[in-house]
Chains A and B, each alone.
Chain A
Amino acid sequence: MNYLLFLGLLASAITLRWIVARYPYSGYNKFPMFGDFEAQRHWMEITVNLPVSEWYQNSSSNNLTYWGLDYPLLTAYHSYICGWISNKINPTWCALKESHGHESDAHKLFMRYTVFIVDLLIYYPAVFYTYRSDLLNKNVETKKFTVLLTNLFYPLLILIDHGHFQFNSISLGLALIAFVMATKEKTILLSAIFFTLSLNYKQMELYHAVPIFVYLLSAYCFEQRKPKLKTFLSLGFVVILTFFIIWFPVLKHDPMAVMKRLFPFERGLYEDKVANFWCTLNLIVKLRTKFDHGTLAKLCLLTTSLSILPSCCMLFRRPTVRNFYISLFNVSLCFYLFSFQVHEKTILLSCLPVILLSATYPVESFTFLQFAMISAFPLMIKDNLVFIFWITFIGFSILAFQRLYIHFNHISLLQLLFSVLCITTTLPLLIAAIYVKPPSRYPDLWVVLISACSCIYFLITLAQFHIYQFKETISYIKKTN
């Protein structure tokens, strides 16, 4: 068969990641706080040298203001394993307190290898599993291939994991497996386990939790409008058991301290410029001066829950696979746009379902993926990744056009025109952000404009996908009647 083709694709994906890995990471040479790279290294240092009870506690040896651990326990365990290995290789890399801001070529290489191995163990298997058993594009080879290519070569994930340095591919890979497994009755329990693992790696996966919960509930726990208690209970049991096993070491000590670290409400509406609704609204209304912290948090909660409601309702009414994926996208984008304390990297969570839909709605999906990259451009400037950003951006555009050409029969030209127009109007801003010095009154002018443009496009896409979901629901109802 064409195992050769897949091997070739895998090897090219790995090569692309390593080429990106040659570029600097976040916070390189930026005393005193460095960046996410230092955060990951610091977590290895903390987890290897301290007992579990002190991981999330402020103490003399664990200063939480210096990159305190703020991800759930699986991240901590993963850091522990990596830290243990790095201790074996070179103890100075993770020496407690001594190694703050450690930078060396060998260590950088080691860290790059950790991401590479994690990709190899979790992300690529997830991607190929999706290719094999995704129900949405079943039996349509070209569509399946589009999803595979997008999954393997989407540059933003590569840039953030291998350039900026994070471990998004673990949580995303686990979530991907969970999504695909959730669509088959045989594997829903496994799906629940995988999703719980993913949730315990990064709490941001909560963005996906609502649709997957609604979908599992609606698709499998009801039969002719009567609840199937057995399925529901077994799902609940599996989830609780997984949670229990993962949280067991901290349950004895102080689980609330961990929770406090995971949801830091004191950190404000947003930190950097993010392409979400609040940050864009801030251009017109200075929210943070008008309202206090608590009010803003409540406002966010209200808007977020209101905005996810329609999508969830439609999913509950008609739990089809396509509806499920669209709903995943809608809900996660709503969270990104309206919730509290959002990072720019969180857009990856909305990109994941869009990648799954990239063969069904090619134009919208690819444009969204490109805009997600554009919205992360300020981050790339900060990390010195601009050059590789352009290379991968152009490469991905070529890939997108090739795939659009393949799916030419399914796309509307008007939509394509609109998308190209949107991107071409935004690109000058990116170039200006590098070469044109902003007026001294507005030092962040270009960054804010980029964020605002992306945010507007995200809102448009959100509306579009709500319409698609609505159509899907209606047509399904018509069909069944």
Chain B
Amino acid sequence: MCNRNTSLTDPTADFVLSDLLTATEDLIDFTINVFDTIRLQSHFNDRNRRVNLASQLKDALDAQKTEFGTIEIPIKPCTVTTTLKYDLSLYLDRILQSCKRTKANLMLLRVSHTRSTNTTLLLVASTNVRVEQLNKKVQLLTRLVKENGGEFQTKKKKKKKILSNTKLDEKNRSEWTLDYPPLFAHFEYGLSKLAYYFDPAMLDINNLNYASEKTKLFQRLSVIGSEIILVFAIFSLLKTMQIGRKNHDIPMPIIQMLFALSLLANFGLIIVDHIHFQYNGFLLGILLISISCMYQNQYLMSAIWFSTLLNLKHIFLYIAPAYIVYLFHSFCIKQSPNGKRFIINLITLGIATLVPFVLSFGPFILMNQLPQVLSRLFPFKRGLCHAYWAPNMWAVYNVADKALAIIGRYTHLFPVRSVSVSMTSGLVQDIEHQVLPSITPTMTFILTFIFMIPSLIRLFRYCSKRTFLETVILCALTSFLFGWHVHEKAILISIIPLSLLAFDSREHARYFLLLSTFGGFSLFPLIFTGPEIPIKIGLFIAYTTFLFYILGEVHGDRGSTFTLPLLNRFETLSVVLLVPLCLYVEFLHTVLHIDRILPFLPLLLISIYCSIFIIYCWIRLHRIEAHLEDELTAIESTVKFSGRWNKKQKNKSD
């Protein structure tokens, strides 16, 4: 297009307009050459679908071409339907793969994380040009993405959409990338009401790329504001769980303060919520409130909180089995002397759980929108792994498959299926394995459930509060390891509850340290822009070392020359080896220009390395035995304080 070169060198120029125009122009070429460009046909096997897509694209463009003919029209979002957008993004993955073979840049992958309309279109456009132009485009695209800010943009979109359709017209909702349950939409609706007072321009529906300082500030503040729930949850937990009660060396208030700090300044939460932009602190706060209610024996309140949480983000279905078993056992069986009572309890529990569901899904059922909503919530069309492999079992599985394929190809010991798309890039979402059997969603479900069963059985047998908490952690971790299309952020669901136990139990502290170190490290690829990389590394080191220091002091193990506090030599080595890995991934990889040959190597390394130790933690956590007697004495006993310091206090008061 006309003035691309000037806009590339001039940082102040308005990128968005000229480049959207360029993108649409390129897109026209793209639609013409659509059959030539995409030779990888594994996904688009049937011809009808391809033709359909091409014609849809062309229609969408024709509708807009008239408008783009005159340049006066500002940034206009391309009104593409969701299905088309989805197909486009799948296309994108294929194309990116072919780009990789022709020395594409690593940045492309990172850009593809964010699937907002504009970036998708731009990316599709950019694949059509020659490779030497690609680099320039990539620079530009990263800039665009940075300004629009990935996740941030989708959230804003939701908000806008919701406010402009004040009648909550659910039909249109599915066009946008709202893939959270309905209650979250209501939450966003409340936020958008606030936003109106803050800066009305932000909610203008035609203003997609709007990301002023004020908007950013509002969005950031909304995250910080919503974390009040987390603070509240921590306070109520401190009261109910008596954390640090059993410690004999360090006074309880200090331990409680350290505990609160370690939760509030959690590296994962900061990275995902405050830099990447999500509302996890708020959601996990609700989870903690529910756990705290459980510790106070308020079973119904706990159930209501938890089902509210499910309606806010359905990812918490991961830990639902633990809730079901525990509530069933302790509320229905234990508390009912006779059969009649049992049935009454069961019905009350059922009603309490269903109320939030009815409130949030009710309007959809009335409008017959339920299937559509559900299909948005459970996207089985997406692949086994996320674009960046979450550090779970499937990452290991994929790598093993790849290794076996290479061995098989050279030795001919076993048959290797030829697959049109190799999956080493970590980009393709639905992976076809070459040697090992391919995985389907049903298989992941069955596996997850099978591996949950041991901990559930133990919960049913002992049925103490502490076993409940352990089971919640294990369920979350199991689903993280075996689930279908797991995000790397889901590790937070097991780390946060584990931190509740870390200050009281030495063994849990050990695995909490390991899990938060490796889980935190696996979040690194979320943040990839230049100035944020040192912030991310610095924060990670600071948080991890403080955590080791604090927990070492709390449990009276300061480590030795060769071991970190609470860890053995092997685990220490694994943590220390993160240093060279981090150096390689963040700096050496680009400095040594390995990114031109193997652009996705860092992501692969991170997810494999972290997955090994997360699996290790998962196995070890199973082996920690429940301290049943401890538990009983701890919660139900009337003596609230024990320990040397507390005794001293008592003596003083006497």
A residues near B, CB below 8 A?
1-2, 4-5, 7-9, 11-12, 14-15, 18-19, 21-22, 29, 103-106, 108-109, 112, 116
Please, which residues of chain A bring their CB within 8 A of the CB of B542? 8-9, 11-12, 15
Of the residues A1, A18, A29, A105, contact of B538 by C-beta under 8 Å: A18
Interface contact B535-A15, CB-CB below 8 Å: yes
User: Given A7-B541, A8-B541, A104-B11, A22–B549 Cβ distance below 8 Å?
Assistant: no
Q: A2-B549, A15-B542, A29-B12 are in contact. List 19 more A-B contacts (CB 8 A).
A: A2-B558, A4-B549, A4-B564, A5-B545, A5-B549, A9-B542, A11-B539, A11-B542, A11-B545, A12-B538, A14-B538, A18-B531, A18-B538, A19-B535, A21-B534, A22-B531, A22-B535, A104-B11, A105-B143
Please, which residues of chain A bring their CB within 8 A of the CB of B182? none
Q: For the complex, what is the distance from the CA of A2 to the CA of B559, rounded to whole Å?
A: 10
* Closest 8 pairs (CB-CB, A-B): A15-B538, A11-B542, A11-B541, A8-B545, A4-B549, A12-B542, A8-B546, A18-B534
Q: For the complex, what is the distance from the CA of A104 to the CA of B10, rounded to whole Å?
A: 9
Q: For the complex, what is the distance from the CA of A8 to the CA of B564, rounded to whole Å?
A: 14
Interface contact A109-B530, CB-CB below 8 Å: yes
Interface contact B549-A8, CB-CB below 8 Å: yes
Q: For the complex, what is the distance from the CA of A22 to the CA of B275, rounded to whole Å?
A: 13
Q: For the complex, what is the distance from the CA of A15 to the CA of B543, rounded to whole Å?
A: 11
Please, which residues of chain A bring their CB within 8 A of the CB of B535? 15, 18-19, 22
Q: Which of B179-199 contact A (CB under 8 A)?
A: none
Chain B 138-170 interface mask (CB, 8 Å, partner A; 1/0)? 000001000000000000000000000000000
Q: For the complex, what is the distance from the CA of A9 to the CA of B565, rounded to whole Å?
A: 17
Please, which residues of chain A bring their CB within 8 A of the CB of B389? none
User: Given A103-B11, A104-B11, A109-B531, A4–B541 Cβ distance below 8 Å?
Assistant: no
Interface contact B11-A105, CB-CB below 8 Å: yes
Please, which residues of chain A bring their CB within 8 A of the CB of B11? 103-105
- Which of A2, A4, A104, A108 has the most chain B CB atoms closer than 10 A to its own CB? A4
Query: Is the C-beta of B521 less than 8 angstroms from some C-beta in chain A?
Result: no
Please, which residues of chain B bring their CB within 8 A of the CB of A1? 558
Please, which residues of chain A bring their CB within 8 A of the CB of B532? 22
B residues near A, CB below 8 A?
11-12, 143, 530-532, 534-535, 538-542, 545-546, 548-549, 552, 558-559, 564-565
Please, which residues of chain B bring their CB within 8 A of the CB of A29? 12
Chain B residue with the shortest CB-CB distance to A7: B545
Please, which residues of chain A bring their CB within 8 A of the CB of B531? 18, 21-22, 108-109, 112
Q: For the complex, what is the distance from the CA of A8 to the CA of B552, rounded to whole Å?
A: 14
Chain A residue with the shortest CB-CB distance to B541: A11
Please, which residues of chain A bring their CB within 8 A of the CB of B538? 11-12, 14-15, 18
Chain B residue with the shortest CB-CB distance to A104: B11
Please, which residues of chain B bring their CB within 8 A of the CB of A8? 541-542, 545-546, 549
Q: For the complex, what is the distance from the CA of A156 to the CA of B531, rounded to whole Å?
A: 21
Please, which residues of chain B bring their CB within 8 A of the CB of A105? 11, 143, 530
Q: For the complex, what is the distance from the CA of A272 to the CA of B478, rounded to whole Å?
A: 63
Interface contact A4-B534, CB-CB below 8 Å: no
Q: For the complex, what is the distance from the CA of A109 to the CA of B549, rounded to whole Å?
A: 32
Please, which residues of chain B bring their CB within 8 A of the CB of A116? 534
Interface contact A4-B530, CB-CB below 8 Å: no
Chain A residue with the shortest CB-CB distance to B12: A29
Q: For the complex, what is the distance from the CA of A314 to the CA of B257, rounded to whole Å?
A: 47
Q: For the complex, what is the distance from the CA of A189 to the CA of B330, rounded to whole Å?
A: 76
Chain B residue with the shortest CB-CB distance to A21: B531
Q: For the complex, what is the distance from the CA of A12 to the CA of B565, rounded to whole Å?
A: 20
Interface contact A4-B545, CB-CB below 8 Å: yes
Please, which residues of chain A bring their CB within 8 A of the CB of B548? 4
> How near does chain A come to B249, taking the closest CB pair, in angstroms?
16
Please, which residues of chain B bring their CB within 8 A of the CB of A12? 538, 542
Q: For the complex, what is the distance from the CA of A15 to the CA of B564, rounded to whole Å?
A: 23
Please, which residues of chain A bring their CB within 8 A of the CB of B530? 105-106, 109
Chain A residue with the shortest CB-CB distance to B549: A4
Please, which residues of chain A bring their CB within 8 A of the CB of B558? 1-2
> How near does chain B come to A115, taking the closest CB pair, in angstroms?
11
> How near does chain A come to B161, taking the closest CB pair, in angstroms?
30
Chain A residue with the shortest CB-CB distance to B532: A22
Please, which residues of chain B bring their CB within 8 A of the CB of A103? 11
Please, which residues of chain A bring their CB within 8 A of the CB of B534? 14-15, 18, 21, 116
Interface contact B565-A4, CB-CB below 8 Å: yes
> How near does chain B come to A162, taking the closest CB pair, in angstroms?
11
> How near does chain B come to A398, taking the closest CB pair, in angstroms?
13
Chain B residue with the shortest CB-CB distance to A112: B531
A-B residue pairs in contact (CB < 8 Å), sample of 28: A1-B558, A4-B546, A4-B548, A4-B549, A4-B552, A5-B545, A5-B546, A5-B549, A8-B541, A8-B545, A9-B542, A11-B540, A11-B542, A11-B545, A12-B542, A14-B534, A15-B535, A15-B542, A18-B531, A18-B534, A18-B538, A19-B535, A21-B534, A22-B535, A29-B12, A103-B11, A104-B11, A109-B531
> How near does chain A come to B175, taking the closest CB pair, in angstroms?
34
- Which of B531, B541, B549, B558 has the most chain A CB atoms closer than 10 A to its own CB? B531
Please, which residues of chain B bring their CB within 8 A of the CB of A21? 531, 534
> How near does chain B come to A95, taking the closest CB pair, in angstroms?
13
Q: For the complex, what is the distance from the CA of A158 to the CA of B11, rounded to whole Å?
A: 27
Please, which residues of chain B bring their CB within 8 A of the CB of A11? 538-542, 545
Chain B residue with the shortest CB-CB distance to A23: B531
Please, which residues of chain B bring their CB within 8 A of the CB of A14? 534, 538
Q: For the complex, what is the distance from the CA of A106 to the CA of B11, rounded to whole Å?
A: 11
Q: For the complex, what is the distance from the CA of A79 to the CA of B298, rounded to whole Å?
A: 67
User: Given A4-B565, A103-B11, A109-B531, A15–B549 Cβ distance below 8 Å?
Assistant: no
Q: For the complex, what is the distance from the CA of A29 to the CA of B10, rounded to whole Å?
A: 12
Q: For the complex, what is the distance from the CA of A11 to the CA of B267, rounded to whole Å?
A: 13
Please, which residues of chain B bring their CB within 8 A of the CB of A9? 542
Q: For the complex, what is the distance from the CA of A127 to the CA of B511, rounded to whole Å?
A: 34
Q: For the complex, what is the distance from the CA of A428 to the CA of B473, rounded to whole Å?
A: 50
> How near does chain B come to A4, taking the closest CB pair, in angstroms?
4
Please, which residues of chain A bring their CB within 8 A of the CB of B539? 11, 15
Chain A residue with the shortest CB-CB distance to B538: A15
> How near does chain B come to A12, taking the closest CB pair, in angstroms?
4
Q: For the complex, what is the distance from the CA of A55 to the CA of B386, rounded to whole Å?
A: 56
Please, which residues of chain B bring their CB within 8 A of the CB of A15? 534-535, 538-539, 542
Q: For the complex, what is the distance from the CA of A29 to the CA of B532, rounded to whole Å?
A: 22
Chain B residue with the shortest CB-CB distance to A14: B538
Please, which residues of chain B bring their CB within 8 A of the CB of A2? 549, 558
Chain A residue with the shortest CB-CB distance to B531: A22
Q: For the complex, what is the distance from the CA of A9 to the CA of B564, rounded to whole Å?
A: 17
Please, which residues of chain B bring their CB within 8 A of the CB of A22? 531-532, 535
Q: For the complex, what is the distance from the CA of A106 to the CA of B143, rounded to whole Å?
A: 11
Chain B residue with the shortest CB-CB distance to A110: B530
Q: For the complex, what is the distance from the CA of A108 to the CA of B11, rounded to whole Å?
A: 12
Q: For the complex, what is the distance from the CA of A108 to the CA of B529, rounded to whole Å?
A: 13
Q: For the complex, what is the distance from the CA of A14 to the CA of B532, rounded to whole Å?
A: 12
Chain B residue with the shortest CB-CB distance to A387: B217
> How near does chain A come to B162, taking the closest CB pair, in angstroms?
29
Please, which residues of chain B bring their CB within 8 A of the CB of A7? 541, 545
> How near does chain B come to A386, taking the closest CB pair, in angstroms?
12
Q: For the complex, what is the distance from the CA of A92 to the CA of B353, rounded to whole Å?
A: 64
Q: For the complex, what is the distance from the CA of A7 to the CA of B565, rounded to whole Å?
A: 14
